[in-house]
Structure 1
Amino acid sequence: MADAPVEAAARQRPLSPHLGIYKPLMSMMMSIVHRITGVALFFGTLILAWWLAAAAIGPDAYATFMATADSTIGRLVLFGYTWALIHHMLGGLRHFLWDSGHGFALRTVDVLAWGTLICSITLTLVIWFATFRMMGAM
């Protein structure tokens, strides 16, 4: 009986902080996106392996891969893979900077988070624009 008030109080408190307590910060969002892009890169690497295997197997397998990759959905997946690769790389460079002991000022943390997002989108668009331009598709 003596433990009843303690148990009631323990049930009323949240088990861990929730988003209702912490305001989402840009650096927090970029940390989450960095993890998501890491998972996406795993699946994108399977696509890369499919491309290499298709090239090694022969013309029919390669034609099948290219038909899939050249479809609208295929291009969207490849565009997303390109963005995930660049975003994850820039996030890794941001973490490398932090590992060296630099960039911990709050303003710098926000600038790096926004810079990672803006640069990853910009570089992805530049790569795809240049690719289409070289191929004569634009």
Structure 2
Amino acid sequence: MDSREALYVGVDSDGGVLKRPMSPHLDVYRFRLSMALSIANRISGVLSAGGFGLAVMWLGALASGPKSFGRARCLSHSLAGRAVTAGWLVATVYHLVGGVRHLIWDDVHRFEKSEINRDGRTSLIVTGGISAVLTGALCVLGGARARKARRTALKTAK
């Protein structure tokens, strides 16, 4: 017996040996955008959950006091911190858009191949647009807050 065939041997409820059917291997299917988006949706869910864990740690630093929060704020305002925040934002938005897409499928709509492919491209465009708007809003708010802090520091220095 080939070693691969041993993986397909199972036991039925009466204890008898049976041979399980083999699933087709990945090379049977042509790799499609919908397959990549499905994989990306799972990965984005994990990344989004990890980002929420970091957000809880940031809130914990806020609750721990000014010294702890100052270190967390310094880290989150670094280039790496901003990149992690942007990645978390994109992952969360993509996972949300993918979830809406799956809800539409759960309602038994949009199952034609052409619709699935079009919706996949649309989900990428929507994710990019929403992520760009939210990232821009964060940058504008962060810049406004930094300008206000500089003005306050200048007034107190006089």
Moved over 6 A (4+): none
SS in 2 for 1:132: helix
Which residue does 2:77 correspond to in 1? 70
CA distance in 2, matches of 1:55, 1:47: 12
Aligned amino acid, residue 130 of structure 1:
A
Which protein shows a greater Rg? 2
Structure ranking higher on relative contact order (CA contacts 8 Å, 6+ apart): 1
Structure 1, residues 63-86: CA drift from partner, whole Å, max 9, x if none? 111111111111111000000000
Match of 1:79 in 2: 86
Q: Secondary structure at the match of 2:28?
A: coil
When the two chains are superposed, the root-mean-square deviation of aligned CA atoms in Å is 2.1
Deviations 1:77-122 (A, max 9, x none): 1000000000000000000000011111111111111111111122
Q: How does 1:1-138 map to 2 (within 5 A)?
A: 7=2, 16-18=24-26, 20-136=27-143
TM-score, structure 2 normalization: 0.73
Deviations 1:20-48 (A, max 9, x none): 33221111111000000111112111111
- Long gaps (5+) in structure 2: 7-21, 145-158
Q: Distance in 2 between matches of 1:60 and 1:76?
A: 23
Amino acid at match of 1:95: H
Alignment identity in percent?
29
Q: TM-score, normalised by structure 1?
A: 0.83
Can you give the 5+ residue segments of structure 1 that lack an aligned partner in the other structure? Answer: none
Question: What is the total number of aligned residue pairs between the two structures?
Answer: 128
